[in-house]
Chains A and B, each alone.
Chain A
Amino acid sequence: MIRLRHKLTKGDFVLDVDAEIPDAGITGIFGESGSGKTTLLRCIAGLERGASEDGLPAHKRNVGYVFQQPTLFPHLDVRGNIEFGAKRAMSNRVDGSQVIDILRLGSFLDRKPDTLSGGEAQRVAIAAALLRSPDLVLMDEPLASLDRARKDELLPYFDRLHDELSVPVVYVSHDIEEIGRLCDHLVLLENGRVTASGDLFDVLSRVDVPLLSGRNAGVVLWASAVEVEDGLTKFHFADGDIWVPGVFATDAAPLRLRIAASDVSICRERPSQTTILNVLRVTVDAVHRVDDAISLVRLDAGNQVLLARVTNRSVARLELKPADRVFAQVKSVTVRH
Chain B
Amino acid sequence: MTQPPSRIEPIAVTARTATTAVGPGTGPLLAALRTGRGGLRPCAFDAYPGTRHVLPTWIGEIDGLDAWPVPDALAAFECRNNRILELALAQDGFADAVARARARHGAARVAVVMGTSTAGLLQGEHAYARRDGEARLPADFRYMETLNAASTARYVSARLGLEGPAWCVSTACSSGAKAFAAGERMLRVGLVDAVVVGGCDSLCGTTLHGFDALQLLSDSPCRPFDASRSGISIGEGAGLALLERGGPDTAARTLVRLVGYGESSDAHHMSAPHPDGAGAERAMRDALARAGLVAGDVAYLNLHGTATPSNDAAEGRAVRAVFGDRAFASSTKGWTGHLLGAAGAVEAVIGMLAIEHGFAPGTLNLRDPDPACAGAVLADAVERPVPVAMSNSFGFGGSNCSLAFAAAAR
Specify whether A and B are partners: no
Give chain B's interface residues, CB within 8 Å of chain A: none
Give chain A's interface residues, CB within 8 Å of chain B: none
